[in-house]
Structure 1
Amino acid sequence: MTIRFENVGIAVRDLEATIAFFTDLGLTVVGRDTVRGEWVETAVGLDGNPAKIALLRTPDGEGVIELFEYLHPEAIETEPTRPNAIGMHRIAFSVDDLDAALEIAARHGCRPLRGVATYEDAYRLTYVRGPSGIIVMLAQQLTLE
């Protein structure tokens, strides 16, 4: 059997705001659609669930995230995920300029959860709370491998 990573899917409350955040960080929208019908209901396990979706690709062409905004049934608001919660934890990006990435995040109202840390003189990194409460790790490598 062959297996290959496809994407990470994230339900969001505001698709356009979330697209703006990730495209400002450098991702590119590679597809958009509104999906509905029996095939969606069967795959997702929800009856009558049309959703707006967008696929975004990282600049290196390797990573894809799928954002979806449920139109029906209405999305369920939950408490923001905490870093130690069981389940989907975070999405992480390597950046070549952490300060520039944090400036972009700040323009979207997103700030580090606590601050910027340095890991063994190898990385500067932080978690920010992105749109819809998504935890986004941004990490800048400080040393060459």
Structure 2
Amino acid sequence: MCTYAGNIMERNKLLRMDNVGIVVESLDDAIAFFTEIGLKLEGRATVEDEWAGRVTGLGSQRTEIAMMVTPDGHSRLEISRFLAPPVQSDHRTAPVNALGYLRVMFTVEDIDEMVSRLSKHGAQLVGEVVQYEDSFKLCYIRGTEGLLVGLAEELNKK
């Protein structure tokens, strides 16, 4: 006889979030931009094996990828440039309230300094840097290729 507690113990459990994927036109520009934010290039490769097209449902594909990792080693950003088949649509200029994937957010030490540095890479504020209570300063920027990136600064670090 199977008990409720036994069923819970047998359930498949989430282990971690592996990465977030972003498709770009220029892998080099995206690597430079996310390196400026503080991510480290973990690896770069071309993927064109038959299994890749089966996973994505695109059939025959050829993709350059770069895996970026956060300083703590817990989060990754997979940046992809599709060589074949050609890109089908472009969501980079979608407004903040558009459906589907929209942005990735990073916590930084000094949001104003980061916005200043990223502006040298062409980043532009979407709105403005705002303060939420005594907890955070937050903003959205359009980074390289118009990618939407959120930045957060914790104000009351414990």
**TM-score, with structure 2 as normaliser:** 0.87
- Give the fraction of aligned pairs with identical amino acids, expressed as a percent: 37
1:2 aligns with 2:13: yes
Contact kept, 8 Å, 1:81 with 1:134, in 2: the verdict is: no
Matched, 1:109 2:126: no
Letter in 1 for 2:13: T
What does residue 16 of structure 1 align with?
28
Aligned residues: 145
Helix, strand or coil at the partner of 2:102 = coil
Q: Which residue in the other structure is 1:30 paired with?
A: 42
Q: Gaps (5+ residues) in structure 1?
A: none
The 5 Å alignment of 1:1-145 reads 1-3=12-14, 4-79=16-91, 80-145=93-158
Q: Distance in 2 between matches of 1:108 and 1:134?
A: 12
Do 1:93 and 1:137's aligned partners in 2 also have CA atoms closer than 8 Å?
yes
Query: How many Å apart are 1:8 and its aligned residue?
Result: 0.4
Computing the radius of gyration from Cα coordinates, the structure with the larger value is 2
Q: Does the CA contact (< 8 Å) of 1:122 and 1:141 recur in 2?
A: yes
CA distance in 2, matches of 1:19, 1:115: 25
More RCO (CA 8 Å, sep 6+): 1
Structure 1 runs (4+) deviating above 3 angstroms are: none
Report the 3-state secondary structure (helix = DSSP H, G, I; strand = E; otherwise coil) of the residue aligned with 2:86: coil
Distance 2:86 2:23 in 1: 11
